[in-house]
Structure 1
Amino acid sequence: MQQADTIIDARWVIPVEPARQVLDHHSVVIAAEHIVAILPTPEAHKCFEAKRTVTLGEHALIPGLINLHTHAAMNLMRGLADDLPLMEWLKHHIWPAEARHVSSQFVRDGTLLACAEMLKGGITCFNDMYFFPDAVAEAVLESGMRAAIGMIVMDHPTAYASDADTYLHKGLETRDRFAAEPLLSFTLAPHAPYTVNDKTFGKILTYAEQLDLPIHIHLQETQDEIQQGLEQHQLRPLQRLQNLGLLGPNLIAVHAVHLKPDEMAVLAQQGCHIAHCPTSNLKLASGIAPVTAMLAHGINVGIGSDSAASNNRLDLFQEMRLAALLAKGTSGQADALPAHQALRMATLNGARALGKEERLGSLEPGKEADIVAVRLGGLETLPCYDVISHLVYAAGREHVTHVWVRGKPVVENRNLLTLDERHLSAHAGMWQERIR
C-alpha cells in the first residue's frame, strides 16, 4: 500500500479538464503537496494509506479559483465612493485617499483582509496590481495562499515611488527578495496606457522579454480611455501597444470592454489573454465586455473581481454567474458561455494566463493540490441534477467549507486556519476611522 498525506473523499470531483467531466464518489489523494491520484473512493483506500482522511459526502471538489485581476489592498476602501463613473471615482475619491493613506502598513493590512475574504470564498491564487508589492508578498505568505504580484509602474509620483524608473527598480528588488517562494510569482504591471508613456513601455517590454514575465495592464476599459488615446497619440490604446511591441502570449489585458472585431482578431493572433471583470465593469458603468465574441475568436479569457473598492466583493462565484448571464443576455443565445466554460474561466484559463497551467487550474495527478470543497447539501442547493451547473448558478462562496493550497489546509469547516479574523476586523476598523 502506498503512503499519502491526505485523502479527500467527496460526493463529486470536478477536474475541469476534460470539460464537463463529473466523477461520482471519488477521492483525491495528496502527497508531497501534489495530487498523486484521483480514484473511486473504495479503490483509493485500497491503494493508499493516508495520515489524514477528510470525508465530504455532500461536497464537490473543484480546483482552487484564480482571481485574474484585483488590487487586494483596496479592501480597506470597500464602499468608500460608490455609484460613480471610473474617472470621477479615481480622480476625486480613490487617488486622493491613496495619496493621504497608502503606505506599506496600509497595503499589508488591506492585503491580509483581502486574502482572508478570498480564501473563504475558494480563491487560492490572485493576480494583483498595487503599490508596495513587498508588503503584498509578506501578507500573501502569512495567509498561505498564492499570488502573482504586480510590479506596478506609472509615470507620476505616489507615496511608493517618484518616477517610472524607481517603480521598476523597487519592483524588481521585491521580485529578487521573494524569488525562492513557491507560492509567489511576479508580473510587470504598467497601470494603464493613460498613465504610462512610450519610453516607459519600452523599458517594461525589455524586462518582460529578458525575465520572461507576464505584463498585466488595464486596457480599453472605457470609451473615455479610448478617446484620450486618440487625442494624445492618434491611436486607440490597443493599437499603440501593438506598435510598441507589447502584444504577445505574456500580455494580460484587463477589462478590454471596448474591443472591435479586428482588435479581437489581433489579440487572438498574438496569443494575448483577457481578465474579464463583469461586476466592476457594470458598477462603474464602463460597459459589458464582448466575451462571447472574444471566445469565438479563440482568446483565452479568465475572470477577475477587480478591487473591493469597485466591486465591492472579491467573489468569483458571483463573477462566474454574472459572466455567464451577461454573455447570454448580450448575445441572445441561451447556450452562450455554459456553466462548465465559466468554471474553466475561473480556474484553468486564469492559470494559463499566468503561465501556470502545468501546475494549477485543474484537478489532475501531478498538479499541485490547490483544492476547494463546496457543500451542495443545503436546502438552497437541492435537488442537484447537474453539479457543474449548480456550482455556477446556485452555489455561492458561502458554500465553500474547505480549502487546500499545495495540499495544506487553509480553510476548514468555514474557519480560516492561517489568519486571525478578530485581528483582521480590528485593523479594518482602525483604517476606517483614519480614512473617514
Structure 2
Amino acid sequence: MTRASAHPTPSGRVVVENCAIATVDARDTEYASGHVVVHGNTIESVGPGPAPRDLQGVVRRVDGTGHLATPGLVNTHHHFYQWLTRGLATDHKLFDWLVALYPAWARIDERMAHAAARGSLAMMARGGVTTAVDHHYVFPRGAGDLSGAVIRAAAELGVRFTLARGSMDRGESDGGLPPDFAVETLDEALAATEATIDEHHDASFASMTRIAVAPCSPFSVSTELLRQGAELARRKGVRLHTHGSETVEEERYCRELFGMGPTDYLASAGWLGEDVWMAHCVHMNDSDVEVFARTGTGVAHCPSSNARLGAGIARVTDMLEAGIPVGLGVDGTASNEAGELHTELRNALLVSRLGPHRETALTTRQALRLGTYGGARVLGRHESIGSLEPGKLADLVLWKLDGLGHASIADPVAALVLGPAAPVTLSLVNGRPVVEDGRLRTADEDEIARSTRDEARRLARLARGD
C-alpha cells in the first residue's frame, strides 16, 4: 500500500559539488572532489569534478568545498519513549536498570510518546540520520494511540521511518519485569500489531513508513507470542525484530527456563532468517555466529548502550567476516543519553578494538559502512538507500570538515569517524532538506526541547504518584 508523505516530493534538480564523496557502494568508490545530482527524490548521477554546467531544471547548486558527502545514516534500533527518562539509573546493569525504569515507562501516554519521538528524531536528524527505527513495546492500558503518535512525529520531521511494533505479554504476575497494566495479552498484541501493519505499512520503493513485528525480548514475551508473531510477519510480508543475546543474565535465563541459549531458543520459535534482525547480540558463541550467517539474520550493533549497561563487546569483526548483515543502533536514550548515531561510528570502531582483534578489528571505512549501507541491508532497504548511486533514493548528508575540529585531518572519512561530531550543513531525505547549517528545517528545535522537558517532568510526577 502506497501512502502519501506529509512532505511532497521535490521537483527539479539539486546539485551538490566540489566536495569529497564517500559513496559506500560495492567498490567503496570515493572522490576527492566530486558531485551528486539529485532529481526529485532520486540520485541521478555521482561522479568526479563539478557537475555539468548545462544541466536543465537546476533549482539549487550547493558548493560543498570543505565538506564530505555520504549516504544518510541508518539507525537500526532505538526506543524513542526513553527520551523522557534520560540520566536515570546510571550505574545499573540491564535487568536492574529495567526494574528501576519500568515504573515510569508504564505511565507513558500518547502525548508523551509524541513528544519523546520528536525529541529522539530531532537529535538524530540533526546528526545525519535519514532513516530511523523505533522499537516501541510498552503499551499501558488507556494510554491512547502510541503507535500513531510515533508515526506522526516521524512524518512531521520528514525522516524515513520503521516502527518496530513491539509487545510484551509477561507482566510481573507471570514472572516478567513490567507492571501487569503495561503489558498486553497474546491476542491483544497480535491484533494490535496486525492493525498497525494494515493501517501504516508502505512497502513501496520510496516508502517513508514501514512496520515490523517486534515482540520485546525472550524474557518479556511468551514463546507463543514469538511464534505467532513470526507467522503474522511472514503472512503480512514485513520484517521481524527483537532483542537477542544482550547480557550474560539473559543467556543464563534462557538456559534455566528453556534449556538452551537465546539463539537456539529464538530459532525454535521461527526467529532466524533474512527477514529478521536482532538488537545487541553481544554474547554470541561460534555456533551462534555461524547460524546467523547461514540464515542471513541481521544484527543491530549498539556499542554505546552496551558499554553504558556493562553488557560487553559484540563480535562485530567476526560477524562481518562471516557475512552477517550488521548495522548500527543508538538504542534508547535511557541507556545512550547522547541520542546520536554519528557518535556510534566512532564508538563502534573504538569498542571493537578493545576486543581480541585489537587494531585490526574495524577500519574507518567499515565503521561508515555499518552506519549506512550496513543498516540499510539490515532493514531490507539496501536496494533503495544506504549508498550514493544513480537510481537510489536521495538520502544524503553533507558534513562540514573544514572547521577547527577536522581541518587538519587529511582523510575526510577518518575525520568524520574519528574526529568530533561533524556539523551537518545539509541533510536530504527523499530529496527534501531536513537539516541545513546544523538546524532542523522541518521543526522548531527550541519548541521540541521545551515539550520534551515538560513531558519528562509530567512523567516523573506520575511515576512518583504525585
Within-5 A mapping of 1:235-274 = 235-274=260-299
2:245 is aligned with what amino acid? Q
CA contact under 8 A between 2:423 and 2:437: conserved in structure 1? no
SS of the residue corresponding to residue 120 of structure 2 reads: helix
1:382 is aligned with what amino acid? A
Within-5 A mapping of 1:154-303 = 154-156=168-170, 162-180=184-202, 182-303=207-328
Kindly state the Cα deviation for residue 110 of structure 1 after the two structures are TM-superposed: 0.2
CA contact under 8 A between 1:268 and 1:298: conserved in structure 2? yes
The share of aligned pairs that are identical, in percent, is 32
Deviations 1:292-342 (A, max 9, x none): 221222211111010111011222221111111222221244232101111
- Other-structure match for 2:389: 364
Kindly state the Cα deviation for residue 19 of structure 1 after the two structures are TM-superposed: 4.4
Q: Choose which of 345, 348, 351 in structure 1 pairs with 2:373.
A: 348
- Other-structure match for 1:94: 101
**Residues 1:159 and 1:376: Cα distance change in structure 2 (over 3 Å):** farther
Q: Hey, what's the Cα distance between the residues in 1 that align with 2:237 and 2:196?
A: 16
Q: Hey, what's the Cα distance between the residues in 1 that align with 2:316 and 2:363?
A: 12
SS of the residue corresponding to residue 242 of structure 2 reads: strand
2:436 is aligned with what amino acid? E
Kindly state the Cα deviation for residue 112 of structure 1 after the two structures are TM-superposed: 0.5
**Residues 1:284 and 1:148: Cα distance change in structure 2 (over 3 Å):** same
Q: How many residues align?
A: 431
CA contact under 8 A between 2:16 and 2:37: conserved in structure 1? yes
Q: Choose which of 106, 120, 126 in structure 2 pairs with 1:114.
A: 120
- Other-structure match for 2:45: 37
**Residues 1:215 and 1:419: Cα distance change in structure 2 (over 3 Å):** same
2:201 is aligned with what amino acid? A
SS of the residue corresponding to residue 248 of structure 1 reads: coil
TM-score scaled by length of structure 1: 0.95
Kindly state the Cα deviation for residue 198 of structure 1 after the two structures are TM-superposed: 1.7
SS of the residue corresponding to residue 89 of structure 1 reads: helix
Kindly state the Cα deviation for residue 175 of structure 1 after the two structures are TM-superposed: 2.3
- Other-structure match for 2:17: 9
Kindly state the Cα deviation for residue 268 of structure 1 after the two structures are TM-superposed: 0.5
CA contact under 8 A between 1:151 and 1:168: conserved in structure 2? no
CA contact under 8 A between 2:424 and 2:436: conserved in structure 1? no
Q: Hey, what's the Cα distance between the residues in 1 that align with 2:123 and 2:411?
A: 27
- Other-structure match for 2:165: 151
SS of the residue corresponding to residue 273 of structure 2 reads: coil
SS of the residue corresponding to residue 174 of structure 1 reads: helix
TM-score scaled by length of structure 2: 0.89
Q: Hey, what's the Cα distance between the residues in 1 that align with 2:286 and 2:39?
A: 46
CA contact under 8 A between 2:36 and 2:51: conserved in structure 1? no
1:242 is aligned with what amino acid? A
Tell which deviates more after alignment, 108-117 or 417-426. Answer: 417-426
Deviations 1:387-411 (A, max 9, x none): 1121111141x42221110000011
CA contact under 8 A between 2:16 and 2:61: conserved in structure 1? yes
Q: Choose which of 443, 447, 453 in structure 2 pairs with 1:423.
A: 447
Is 1:322 aligned to 2:347, yes or no?
yes
- Other-structure match for 1:135: 149
Is 1:52 aligned to 2:60, yes or no?
yes
Kindly state the Cα deviation for residue 429 of structure 1 after the two structures are TM-superposed: 2.0
1:345 is aligned with what amino acid? L
Structure 2 gaps of 5+ residues are: 1-10, 139-145, 172-179, 461-466
Kindly state the Cα deviation for residue 154 of structure 1 after the two structures are TM-superposed: 1.3
Q: Hey, what's the Cα distance between the residues in 2 that align with 1:199 and 1:385?
A: 55
CA contact under 8 A between 2:15 and 2:51: conserved in structure 1? no
1:316 is aligned with what amino acid? L
- Other-structure match for 1:376: 401
- Other-structure match for 2:331: 306
Deviations 1:71-101 (A, max 9, x none): 012111111221211111101x2111012x3
Kindly state the Cα deviation for residue 434 of structure 1 after the two structures are TM-superposed: 1.8
Is 1:103 aligned to 2:127, yes or no?
no
